[in-house]
């Protein structure tokens, strides 16, 4: 299998199962014009997030890592009219693009983007006694994901889902001798999930237009 084949399959699946969407296409175009990195989830991955949020009946969603708001649009569209999505983004320029894209998608009433270090914003949510989130999507700096997972446990309830993206690292996650901070962060996350009695988790390898990677799916059980 080659990247060219993976791209062709993604293109086929996008056409059959996702289809054209003006708001999502515009969000990607706006992000590109703003010079944001091309690291948003793929359309099929975005729809997976959307379906998972619908499956758990999410009313409150937390996203760690907004980028240009592409995944936030997918997630926010799964919310009821009185639902809420809080997305955290460290880069003010990225946050501005995400806010604009959410506004253009007509989601500004259910979605907000908070700027600052995710760890600080997560601590503020806990200190403010935030209502538990039904789904948490972690797609930010990988060295910090063990810390983000710890905060996510404080901000969820039994039955909530925690999804972590980019956890295979092109296969590097299997290298116990790796000195890559992102790989170390993912491996530490796996250890924490395996040892934490309050959750059940698994990880799935993926291939596609985003290359070879994967995601971790965690369910809070107690």
For tokens 């975005």, name the residue.
46
Cα dihedral 103, 217, 119, 58 sign: positive
Angle at Cα 82 formed by Cα 80 and Cα 84, nearest 5°? 85
Q: Provide the pLDDT for residue 41.
A: 98
Residue 69 — left, alpha, or beta (φ > 0 → left; ψ -120 to 50 → alpha)?
A: left
**What pTM value is reported for the model?**
0.98
How many CB atoms sit inside 10 A of residue 6's CB?
Answer: 17
Residue 41: DSSP 8-state = P
Residue 168 CB-density burial (10 A; 0-12 exposed, 13-18 middle, 19+ buried): buried
Tokens coding 168: 């295979």
Torsion-angle region of residue 121: left (phi > 0), alpha (psi -120 to 50) or beta? Answer: alpha
Looking at residue 129, its pLDDT comes to 98
For residues 78 and 52, what is the distance between their CA atoms, to the nearest angstrom? 9
**Domains (ranges, CATH) in the chain?**
3-162 (3.40.50.150)
Gap between the Cα atoms of 199 and 134, Å rounded: 14
Q: What does each of the 222 residues of the chain score in pLDDT, given as a tens digit?
A: 899 999 999 999 999 999 999 999 999 999 999 999 999 999 999 999 999 999 999 999 999 999 999 999 999 999 999 999 999 999 999 999 999 999 999 999 999 999 999 999 999 999 999 999 999 999 999 999 999 999 999 999 999 999 999 999 999 999 999 999 999 999 999 999 999 999 999 999 999 999 999 999 999 999
pLDDT at 1: 85
Q: Strand 133-138 to strand 199-208: parallel, antiparallel, or no bridges (unpaired)?
A: unpaired
Structure confidence at residue 193 (pLDDT): 98
């Amino acid at each position: 299998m080659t990247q060219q084949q993976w791209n062709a399959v993604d293109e086929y699946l996008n056409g059959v199962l996702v289809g054209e969407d003006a708001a999502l296409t515009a969000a990607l175009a706006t992000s590109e014009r703003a010079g944001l990195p091309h690291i948003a989830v793929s359309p099929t991955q975005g729809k997976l997030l959307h379906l998972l949020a619908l499956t758990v009946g999410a009313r409150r969603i937390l996203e760690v890592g907004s980028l240009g708001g592409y995944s936030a649009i997918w997630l926010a569209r799964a919310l009821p009219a009185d639902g809420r999505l809080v997305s955290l983004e460290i880069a003010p320029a990225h946050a501005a693009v995400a806010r604009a894209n959410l506004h253009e998608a007509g989601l500004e009433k259910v979605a907000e983007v908070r700027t600052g270090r995710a760890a600080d914003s997560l601590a503020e949510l806990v200190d403010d006694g935030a209502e538990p989130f039904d789904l948490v999507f972690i797609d930010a700096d990988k060295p910090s994901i063990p810390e983000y997972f710890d905060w996510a446990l404080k901000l969820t309830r039994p039955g909530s889902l925690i999804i972590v993206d980019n956890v295979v690292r092109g296969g590097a996650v299997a290298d116990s001798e790796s000195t890559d901070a992102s790989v170390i962060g993912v491996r530490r996350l796996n250890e924490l999930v395996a040892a934490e009695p309050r959750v059940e988790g698994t990880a799935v390898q993926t291939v596609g237009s985003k290359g070879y990677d994967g995601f971790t799916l965690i369910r809070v059980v107690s």
